[in-house]
Structures are given as structure tokens and as C-alpha cells.
Structure 1
């Protein structure tokens, strides 16, 4: 039996909704009858123009364009899902991370959520209802010093910001939560596994094993699928989770070795 998540006609903003987790979130909310606007730097041909904003939300102007579109087209927002994140920092440990690398990780993984929340949250508070979900990462618990120090630090900052925000606005009717994925089999992670496989002279399955070993193993034996993360997000955003707020839900196949 399919659970009715009671998301019909909810006004939803999803950042980074053209690929991976974001695309799965957009598709699932729309399947449940929500009105969804999503954003990325460029619009895929299959994406309806009315429900998309081409913007770089790592910038102040990009966030402002998204806020204007949400207010003009939806008249406000009931649910915000901040999926945007990633890293372009080079490998090489702390010494490879200069000012630009640190700034880039914070501008991508922290500031867009802060800016969009700051602009859209007042409308939620005025109505006394709303949900904000920040997608963090298990890297804040398990940073890889060779390559993810700055990314992990930015996601840790996002998690702390989210927790503080939840304590402030939950008494006024707005729930704030975090979803913390481990390795998810997105387009980007598939490409990474294929590159590692080619370098090691193995196949895609072998490339996946290399990644899993780098994480210390995944007890489940595989990465999560984007739709599995989207399922969790949709439930948490729905009225079915009406008393859940301020918490972080890890979805990593058991990667983190402690509770």
C-alpha cells in the first residue's frame, strides 16, 4: 500500500534538481502532486521552463534570482530542500587548499542555504508553518584528509547552522531537519568509479569496491540510490513527520561505524 504523503499542492523549492539526489527529489515531489521549482546553472531540455530557474546559487545574485522566481511563480514556499553541494578541491591534503579552494567550498556548500533561508523563511514564519531540509554529508563525521577536508568542514558548518536554526524557528511552526547521505550512486559517483576502475585495470564493480574501501566499507554492500535518499526527504518534509525536527538522519548503508 502506497502511503499518501499529503504533499499535493505544496509549494516546494529544490536546489540542484537536475541530476542525482536533486533530480530524484524533484521527481518524487511532483509525483505526489507538489508544485516544485528547481534550480541549476543550466536547464535540461526535458525540464519545464516555468518550474526552473537558471541561476548560480553559489552567488548572491543567483540566490536573489531564485527568491524572486519562487515569490513570483508560487507566491512563497512551503518546503525548501537544499540539495546543492559538492567539491572541486584538489587532492593533496591541507597544503593543496588555498584561499580560493576554501572559499569555493563554503560558497557552494554553506552560503546558498543560508541566503535562501534568510530570504524565504520570513514568509514561512508569517504563516506559522513550513519545512526546511538541509542535505549534509557523512563526511562531516568521516572526512578523508587527502581530498575532502574543506568539503567536510563546510558540510559540518551547514549541519551546525541547521541545528541552530531549528532551535530558533521550530517554536514558531517551521521544522528544520538534516539528511546526511553516505556514498550515493549519482552520475558523478558513477563517473568517479569508472575512472578509478580504468586506472586500476578493473571494471565498474571493481571501481565501486575501491570507493567503498576508501570509506572503510559499507556494511550494506552497495551505495544508496538517489531515489532512496529522495524517499527519506519526502517523508520528512511531509505532514506524516509532523513532530520530527532538529535532527539529522543518516542514510549511508551503515558506513559510519558508531552510533
Structure 2
């Protein structure tokens, strides 16, 4: 999908920040927004695999308050703010096994990485959007926020559920001031992080990667399209949501899950 030609330059002149933008869904989003003409800034803990990427990279751990303030200050100094903010940072790096395996530190980390880093970055970069009466914020959540799996995503799911609620509240607050806020909830997606997650679960269960993948598909109720999503497919949705074509969309949570949920929502 990334090799498509003649993409519309509907984001020409826009400044976009993509957090967690060097791998997986974040990288695909950064590439797609650049292809649409945006000036893209990427921040992550790890540097891009290719150093000559067509966007600016700022290394930072946004769960660290000082790093977050440094990134925001650098962007405000150079660009005066952003038009598009993609809060993609997040991770499920916490022990599986349910409530007894999770201590206070795990819960604090889950909230810092998957909720509070987005809240803080919004708080710093949103004022410039409000001054211009224009801007779009996308929070990348997860279907886990509505479908928690106690044995593997308890803390992560709780934090993503909180992110969903915060995102809806923020959309309601700033909608009349020209800023749109939208949530995107990917389901099972073919990324390095997902592969590592499944490998760890497979080792713990003493089964193969393929068997664990099928168990996860079964655990979430099946995926009618029969496969995981490609990161580029989520990037296409995000591009639409930040484009002029989505000018009347705010406060919604878009699920991109291959038809995973067996219920109407």
C-alpha cells in the first residue's frame, strides 16, 4: 500500500507530530501524512531505522516529563505549534496472568505510557490550536479498551479505556473552538510489537507462535477478514480523519479490527 502513486497533497502546508512514529502503526502514519504533503515531526525512544527519512526526528521518552517538555518546546520554537497531533505512543509491556501479577509500578507505568503522556502533550500543544481555531488531535487507542483480556492485557486495557473517555471529553470541550479530537482503535495488527507479544505468550504457554496466534484470534471472538491488519491500513484511516474530508467528524472512536467484535456498537 505504501507504493501508491499520485496521492493527493491535501495536507500541504500542515505541521504534524507523530509520537511513537519510528515503528509499526506510527511509522506508517508518519509516512502517509508526509505523502499527503504535511511537514512531519516524529518522536520516539528509538531512532528510525533509516536515518534519511523525510521527516524530523526528536528522540524522547514521553513518559518522562522532562523529555515531553523538551519536545514540545522545540516544536513550538521552530514551528509555533502543530496543526495535526497523532498521539500514537503506547505499549502493553506488563506481565500477564491477571491481577495478582500486577503491582503498583506496573499500573503507574500503564497509565503513564498509554494515557498521561497523551494528556500532557495535548495540554502543551493544544493552546496554539485554540488560538488559531484550527487543529486535529488523534488518539491511537486499541480495541483492548473495550475488549479487555484479563490474562494478558489487564493494565493496558484499563489505561486505553481511560484514554477513550478522556478523548471524548476533550472533543466535547474544544469542538466549538475549531479543534477536532478523534480516537482510532486498531485491533490485531501485524507489527514487531505484536510479534514480540505473541512470542512471549507462546513461550509461557509452551506452544508455537502459530498456535498462539490462532488462540488469540479465538480469544477475541474471531476476525471475519481472517488476518491481522497491516499498519498502512490504519494509516489510511488516520489520514482521512485529519484531512479536510473529515471536517465534520469529532468525538468518535473508529474501530479498525477486521470485523472482530461480534456485537453491534
Of 7, 28, 40, 1:36 maps to: 40
Of 174, 177, 181, 2:186 maps to: 181
Match of 2:107 in 1: 102
User: Quick one: structure 1 residues 205 and 148, their matched pair in 2 at CA, closer, same or farther if it must change by over 3 Å?
Assistant: closer
| Greater Cα offset, 243-252 or 212-221 | 212-221
Alpha-carbon separation, structure 1, partners of 2:103 and 2:49: 37
1:26 equivalenced with 2:30 (yes/no): yes
User: Quick one: structure 1 residues 48 and 69, their matched pair in 2 at CA, closer, same or farther if it must change by over 3 Å?
Assistant: farther
CA contact (8 A) 1:196 1:210 kept: no
Alpha-carbon separation, structure 2, partners of 1:156 and 1:78: 26
CA contact (8 A) 1:80 1:131 kept: yes
Deviation at 1:124, TM superposition (A): 0.2
Q: Deviations over 1:199-224 (max 9, x none)?
A: 6554x544432321222211111111
Match of 2:14 in 1: 10
CA contact (8 A) 1:90 1:96 kept: yes
CA contact (8 A) 1:5 1:238 kept: no
CA contact (8 A) 2:80 2:128 kept: no
Matched position secondary structure for 2:221: coil
Give unpaired runs (5+ residues) of structure 2.
Answer: none
1:83 equivalenced with 2:88 (yes/no): yes
Matched position secondary structure for 2:227: coil
Q: Deviations over 1:3-47 (max 9, x none)?
A: 636111210000000100000000111111110111111313524
User: Quick one: structure 1 residues 91 and 197, their matched pair in 2 at CA, closer, same or farther if it must change by over 3 Å?
Assistant: closer
Match of 1:127 in 2: 132
User: Quick one: structure 1 residues 79 and 94, their matched pair in 2 at CA, closer, same or farther if it must change by over 3 Å?
Assistant: same
Deviation at 1:92, TM superposition (A): 1.7
Matched position secondary structure for 2:175: helix
Match of 2:151 in 1: 146
Matched position secondary structure for 2:34: helix
Aligned length: 258
Deviation at 1:230, TM superposition (A): 0.5
Matched position secondary structure for 1:142: coil
Matched position secondary structure for 1:110: helix
CA contact (8 A) 2:9 2:35 kept: no
Alpha-carbon separation, structure 2, partners of 1:209 and 1:45: 30
Of 196, 219, 223, 1:218 maps to: 223
| Greater Cα offset, 38-47 or 102-111 | 38-47
Alpha-carbon separation, structure 2, partners of 1:171 and 1:228: 30
